[in-house]
Amino acid sequence: MNDQELKVMIQTILSEVIAENKGDIKTDETLKKQKTSSLSKTDVSDEELPDISAIRIQDQYLVPTPLNKEAFAKLKAKTPARVGLWRTGTRYLTEPMLRFRLDHAAAQDAVFSDVDESLIQKMNFIPVKTICKDKDEYLTRPDFGRKFDDENAEIIRSTIKSNAKVAVIVGDGLSSAAIEANIEQVLPSLKQGLQNHNLEIGDILFIKYCRVPAMDQIGDITNAEVICLLVGERPGLATAESMSAYMAYRPHSGLAEAKRTVISNIHSGGTPAVEAGAYIADTIQKMLDAKKSGVDLY
């Protein structure tokens, strides 16, 4: 085969390949048109999917054939734990898996976000911050969340009068969502309860990057008789909105944790905020009467 014949053969093969490719392209375009046509004929519902977060875990009965449905219902009603999620093979069903990811995301948001500045202004809080520079340092250096620099210490000193009988402070803690969800309900109830005991409180501090022992340095600065810290708790998968009230009689640096009185689980699925406020006020009065707090109070 000479060079001329070889060129002719190559040209022929290339022509056939090009022709086949063109045919494939036409086929692909035809398939796309068929798919589009098929989709256009499919009925698409405008109905929105249910909001997973609006479904109470206690009301979910995902086990298809429980042996004792009544007992199962009673068990579910008593706990927000993930009981009876059922499975597909060795995996979660889609809905429980999505709910898990949703709750996990909510917990992360509660930890890493800050309390809305507009809420702080609305509540007329006096803002201060611990020596933490940012959220990362707050999470990695718990000891920094217990201390104030001289500038913030002076704000504390000018806000809470020396030797105050009761001082109420608010801290973001590990859940900004807890403060945003509860503080507007708990404070009016707490103030009313204190007034019923003839106790008044002055301006309220808001502490950014706050750990619970921050109240101890405030005790050193003000010598307040009782300090009550309302703070966001570490969020879990049951809720990211749990707040606690930590109270201590004559708190000071080095105070043992056993000397604190705590009312925890203040959220919509636990102790309601309004009820908690009244109970906190009664507890503060007991501490003032006994001049004790924590394990010494009981």
CATH number of the domain residue 120 falls in: 3.40.50.11240
* DSSP, residue by residue, 150-200: HHHHHHHHHHSPTT-SEEEEEE-TT-HHHHHHHHHHHHHHHHHHHHHTT--
Q: Are residues 215 and 227 in the same domain?
A: yes
The pTM assigned to this predicted structure is: 0.79
3-state secondary structure of 244: strand
Q: Are residues 72 and 126 in the same domain?
A: no
Where in the sequence is the domain holding 151, given as residue range(s)? 114-297
Bigger pLDDT: 61 or 169? Answer: 169
Average pLDDT over residues 222-244: 95
Cα 118 to chain centroid distance, Å, stands at 18
CA 283, 284, 286, 291 torsion-angle sign: positive
Q: Are residues 225 and 125 in the same domain?
A: yes
Out of 93, 111, 129, a domain closes at 111
Percentage helix, strand, coil for the chain under 3-state DSSP, each rounded to 5:
50, 10, 35
Token reading at 243: 């707040």
Out of 95, 111, 127, a domain closes at 111
pLDDT in tens, 115-168: 999 999 999 999 999 999 999 999 999 999 999 999 999 999 999 999 999 999
Average pLDDT over residues 176-191: 97
Residue 179 in domain: yes
Residue 35 in domain: no
Tell me the C-alpha distance between 92 and 72, whole Å: 19
Q: Are residues 161 and 231 in the same domain?
A: yes
pLDDT higher than threshold 60 for residue 44: no
Q: Are residues 100 and 57 in the same domain?
A: yes
Residue 172: which residues within 8 A CB-CB, separation 6 or more?
Answer: 114, 115, 179, 206, 207, 208, 209, 210, 231, 232
Tally of domains within the chain? 2
pLDDT in tens, 258-283: 999 999 999 998 999 999 999 999 99
Q: Are residues 105 and 201 in the same domain?
A: no
